[in-house]
Structure 1
Amino acid sequence: MKDTIPIYEKTNHIHATVYHILAMSGNKVSQYLAPVGTRIILHDERLGTIRFVGKLEGRDGIRYGVELDENLGKHNGEFEGKQYFQTQKSKSGVFVWPKDVYHPSDLISVIKNKYTSTANEKSIMVKRMKGKEVEILVDKDVTEALCDIYSLERISLEKAPVGFVNEKDVSSKNIFHRCKTLSIKQCLLTKWSDLFNILKVFPKVGDLSVFGNMLDDLSCQLSDEKVEAYKKIVKNVTTLSVGNCFLNQNCVNVIPLIFENLTELVIAVNPVNSFCPSTKGNFESLKKLILDECVVSDLSYLKDGLLKVPNLEEISLIRSSVENIPDDIYKYLPSLKSMFLRYNDINSWRFVNNINKIPNLKFLEIELSRLPKYSEGDDVLDFVIAKCPGIVSINKHTITGTERSKAEIIFLRDVPESDPDQIEDIKRLKKIYVNIVSSTNKDRDFTKMKLGSIKIEVVKNSSSYIITAPMSLTFKSLIQGAAKKLSFSKMSIKSIDICINNEVINVEKKSFNQNLNDYFYKINENENIKIILLE
């Protein structure tokens, strides 16, 4: 059985003093030691939380035991048979020297460190370029202007040790009077109260991102007085990203209570399954909601919340474990124009029918790989295009009139009339294409060629695969698709050979923006086309 030593829980700053004394050796006094629970950044920019401060048995010196946010460590808190701390992931633990981490620092110091340079009396500005210090002779007025951080219009701090703002800076007359965009991504913020203090010196910020910070629960620290005070501080914020901030459901729901003028809200990568504003009335300003990588398995969970955002025009649920789209979801999305559902379990044509009922939907991104096929050669994208006549763009591809006609004819030829999820669309399309009847697979392939698609074998070295591609496809797009399919760098391809019958046509890299139609003027039914990718 493993030996176990006491595990330090989250502590206050008293422990820092204790550890400070422990780290003293002779007449030497150590550097500052942060308490357990402190967020830190390692020198290689990995983020984590201190879970242990002390000595390892048989080793000299005080170390931090750190649980990293990602599973990019070496162990689970165990060292030589002893468990010093616990981690949620199997290999997210590391031991590091305190000198090798960045502790939480005040915002103004971090901004000055990034946006100003050291200027000496001779107006020589020192900048670091590629790890080396470079001296630049500049005019004094230019130096002063460059060092005026309070005139910056946009401030972006990523993986910087921002943890708070000093009280003296909040009460100072110096404010960032021009800054409209503030990004504090993957830093060391842990408290909403610290964020609101920071925003006191950014009165005009409209675009705010704190993505990747580990924030506490806002919902359990609000009083009516605080809500009113915070509203005044954030009144100009219209775009907010709190993605990957470890927020719970209650915390997410109270955000609109304070940020009442939001038009865009990003709550992606948080452990929530819905969004329902805690406001008394509707949250009418919101037009864009990002729920990527949350856990919204059933869109029914969103119904109550969607009733409060009647003007929502865009919703994104990429990688959100969506497994069900209810029949009546259209009733809750009257203004929706864009919907993003890539990388979800969309495995029924009924879901596509329910999406198509959304009255104003124009732009759709949807996972196609799990939709049912009726034969091996079916291209389900054609079926989606045929079923959704009001949608103008699918998976970032704008649908032309020719493509839609082709898709509708293929849908009538390939889809069996016995499928209950397809009956209504078959009836609708039969009124347009009265002479289309079912056919053999051979006839279907030939029809696709007539309508602007051809079968191509794509070859690289000893690997190959077959695709049915539109004549408008560029060689550049073909190479990009092949690179993903066959796992190679698209930049490595210098030219391609087009082999058709006994003829070989070489296309150089400078011509990769041309499309298939530029080379295939007339295609017969039985011709074999091969495109060989050459490095």
Structure 2
Amino acid sequence: MVGAMPVNIIPKFYNDTIGGCNGMEDEIQVSIGSRVKSGDDFGTVKYIGEVQGYNGIWYGVEWDDVARGKHDGFVDNIQYFKTTKSNAGSFVRPNKISPLRTCADAIRKYYGDREDETVAAHRRTVINEWKREMGAPFIEMVGFEKIHQKHKNRMAIDMSEETLSQLSINFASLEKLNISVCDYEWSDILVLSHLWPKINEIIAAYNRIKKITPPEVTLRTLTILRLDGNPIDSWNEVNNLGRLKNLKVLSLNDCEICEIRFNNEPGNGKINVFDNLEVLFLNRNKINDWRSISELDKLKNLKKLYFLKNPIQNSEDYDTTSQLVIAKIGSLQELNGSIITRELRRGAEYDYLKRYGAEWKVAQQDAVQKLAFDIEHCRFQELIDKYGIPDDSLLVKQVRNTTLTSQLLEIILRDENGKILKKKFPSTMAVQKLVTLAQRLFSKTGNTGTPTLNLLDDQMKGAEIPLDNVMKDLAYYSIKNGDTILVRFR
């Protein structure tokens, strides 16, 4: 029969946690900086003590949700603590909140921690002596060292709404980390970044990140960074992430960015930041100028852009703003999840030439205006080199003649069988009406179904421009007298 195990080497357990030098009891102490919860609300303790005129101990808490707060830390003109967000603070009794386990505690509980080598060596010596005394060499004590070895290759951890304030564990194999809704600044992440030498993805959404310091020696393996919902309002701060050579995906949805600027150089010369950035999310920001989109053409490898619900998009319909984005960024392959086909790009770029052609021609007569135009429209010269200069009738702003006769356009309609019809149509006719008319005119030759219309543009070396927005009128596509429209049946 095996004798009683010496008490000083028996690990103690409290609610599935191990006591002793590396363990902890399940009771969590609250201190300044602790994260706490009340109902569904999370907050950070900023003050512990008495409040003048009120009995007992109070906790001053800054709440993540400002609506939960009542003041800035002031009571009766006495400031007990200071909040980072206006009116985000309140006082609560200790029994009204529940402390949250720190990240370090949670990690130790779930993964185990490495023992201090001195403590571990002493423990091994005691166990070996005890095994010799008992004549039981087969007995093995399994503690944190074994647990750590089992979990040392953990690759992902989700600590959203927790705290990293006491983190001191080196996760050499950690690849993905979620620290959303933790009230962190960028500096907090940098301080801890040396712990994750192999980190691949960081999700730090809805924190307090506003200022971004360039990482000097850490985060070199980072490929995905999600900073959605942070109060970032300057692109200069975003540029400080440009040194992350392996960064491929950057998400900045729901931030406060008003404009994008890399430099003030004319043209679309590529820049030496964000070398490998391929995917950029900019939904629901405050971008209100088209130059910001032109600036993105200076990125070397941008392939996918998500750009929705920004103020600049309020002035035009979705199709028009999408065409402008496509024309302004030559490397783009997807916009808002939709693939950009060769035909779609060609149509968008040609419409862009027509839209700003007159302004471009005027700018060529003055060096200052030319410089301003080239800065605003980074790709325009590239498009002229690609397609040539559009016809003068598209470049010069014409005085509109309001008589019906002057608005009639003689257009050649031609189907795939070679049948040709010449008709006059008002420039204000919707494309949808022309589709219906073409269907009726060419149905007698055996064509069935709904046709598609494509403008044959002689100025563009015979390129076909799809009239795919059926709600627009003919004038929108700058159709002129004598133009040919190809009628194709599906």
TM-score normalised by L of structure 2: 0.54
Q: 1:257 aligns with which of 191, 194, 197?
A: 194
1:83-94 map, 5 Å: 83=78, 85-88=80-83, 89-94=85-90
Secondary structure at the aligned position of 1:265 is classed as strand
1:321 paired with 2:229, answer no
Q: Counterpart of 1:234 in 2: which secondary structure?
A: coil
Q: 1:67 and 2:62 equivalent?
A: yes
Instruction: Give the drift of 1:58.
Output: 6.3
- Partner residue of 2:280? 339
**How far apart, CA to CA, are the structure 1 residues paired with 2:319 and 2:110?**
65
Alpha-carbon contact 1:317-1:340 (below 8 Å) kept? yes
1:139-188 Cα distance to aligned partner (Å, 9 max, x none): xxxxxxxxxxxxxxxxxxxxxxx76747996458367999xxxxxxxxxx
Residue of structure 1 in register with 2:155 after alignment:
206
Task: Say which of 238, 249, 260 aligns to 2:175.
Answer: 238
Larger relative contact order (CA 8 Å, sep ≥ 6): 2
- 2:142 alignment partner in structure 1: 173
Deviation at 1:373, TM superposition (A): 9.5
Q: CA-to-partner distance for each residue in 1:301-347, whole Å, 9 max, x for gaps?
A: 5556533x323222223315253321466322232211222334434
Deviation at 1:237, TM superposition (A): 0.6
Q: In the alignment, is the contact (CA less than 8 A) between 2:250 and 2:280 conserved in 1?
A: yes
Partner of 1:276: 214
Is 1:285 matched with 2:221? yes
Aligned position for 1:96: 92
Note closer, same or farther for the CA distance 1:401–1:176 as it changes in structure 2 (3 Å cut).
farther
1:209 shift after superposition: 2.8
Alignment partners' CA distance in 1, 2:219 and 2:297 = 25
In 2, the alpha carbon distance for the partners of 1:284 and 1:521 equals 45
Q: Structure 1: how far apart are the matches of 2:315 and 2:358?
A: 11
The correspondence for 1:382, drawn from 304, 323, 326, is 323
Q: 1:78·1:85 contact (CA, 8 Å) conserved in 2?
A: yes
Q: Would the alpha carbon gap of residues 44 and 451 (structure 1) be closer, same or farther in structure 2, given more than 3 Å must change?
A: farther
Shift, 1:102, TM fit: 1.2
Instruction: Determine helix, strand or coil for the equivalent of 1:333.
Output: coil
Contact 1:296 1:322 in 2 (8 A): no
Residue 32 of structure 1 and its aligned partner are, at CA, apart by 10
Kept in 2, the 8 Å contact 1:366–1:394? The answer is: yes
Equivalent in 362, 384, 387 of residue 427 of structure 1: 384
Contact 2:235 2:257 in 1 (8 A): no
CA 1:71/1:451 → structure 2, altered by over 3 Å: closer, same or farther? farther
Which segment is superposed worse, 290-299 or 359-368?
Answer: 290-299
Q: 1:210 and 1:234 mapped to 2: Cα distance? A: 14
Q: Which runs of 5+ in 2 are unaligned?
A: 1-26, 116-140, 264-268, 361-372, 408-425, 436-450, 453-467, 475-490
Cα distance in 2 for partners of 1:79, 1:446 equals 66
Q: What is the 5 A alignment of 1:100-499?
A: 100-105=96-101, 165=108, 170=113, 173=142, 202-216=151-165, 233-268=170-205, 269-279=207-217, 284-294=220-230, 297-301=233-237, 305-307=241-243, 309-318=244-253, 319-321=255-257, 323-327=259-263, 330-366=271-307, 369-371=310-312, 379-419=320-360, 420=373, 421-422=376-377, 423-424=380-381, 427-428=384-385, 430-431=387-388, 437=394
Corresponding residue for 1:131? Answer: none
For 1:173, the aligned partner's letter is: V
CA gap 1:92/1:254 in 2 versus in 1, 3 angstroms: closer
Counterpart in the other structure of 1:39: 35
Residue identity in the other structure for 1:357: K
Structure 1: 5+ residue runs without aligned partners?
Answer: 1-30, 109-161, 179-198, 219-225, 453-470, 473-519, 527-535
8 Å CA contact 1:239, 1:262 repeated in 2: yes
| TM-score between the two structures when normalised by the length of structure 1 | 0.50
For residues 30 and 186 of structure 2, the distance between their equivalents in structure 1, rounded to whole angstroms, comes to 30
| Cα offset, 1:276, TM superposition | 2.4
CA contact (8 A) 2:74 2:80 kept: no
Tell me how far apart the structure 2 counterparts of residues 36 and 253 of structure 1 sit (CA, whole Å).
Answer: 22
Q: 1:450 to 1:100 in 2, by over 3 A?
A: same
Kept in 1: contact 2:33–2:44 (CA 8 A): no
Q: 1:391 to 1:56 in 2, by over 3 A?
A: same
Q: Distance in 1 between matches of 2:430 and 2:353?
A: 12
Task: Tell me how far 1:74 sits from its aligned partner.
Answer: 5.2
Q: Secondary structure of the residue that 1:321 maps to in structure 2?
A: coil
Distance (whole Å) between structure 2 residues aligned to residue 427 and residue 62 of structure 1? 73
Q: Per-residue displacement from partner, 1:386-423 (whole Å, max 9, x unpaired)?
A: 23343121123333445334433432333343252344
Amino acid at match of 2:63: L
Higher alpha-carbon Rg: 2
Amino acid at match of 1:75: K
Aligned partner letter, 1:100: K
Assess, with a 3 A threshold, how the Cα gap between structure 1 residues 306 and 392 changes in structure 2: closer, same or farther: same
Q: Distance in 1 between matches of 2:53 and 2:314?
A: 61
The Cα offsets for residues 56-97 of structure 1, whole Å up to 9 and x where unpaired, read as 7366x6554433232123522789847473452443334434
Q: Distance in 2 between matches of 1:405 and 1:447?
A: 22
Q: 1:246 to 1:341 in 2, by over 3 A?
A: same
1:92 and 1:254 map into 2 onto residues whose CA distance is 26
Aligned counterparts of 1:80 and 1:284: Cα–Cα separation in 2 = 47
- Compute the displacement of 1:385 (Å): 1.6
Give me the whole-angstrom Cα distance separating, in 2, the residues matched to 1:415 and 1:168: 61
Structure 1 residues 200-223: Cα deviation after superposition (integer angstroms, max 9, x where no partner): 8842321123233344498xxxxx
Counterpart secondary structure, 1:334: coil
Q: Is the 8 A contact 2:58 2:92 kept in 1?
A: yes
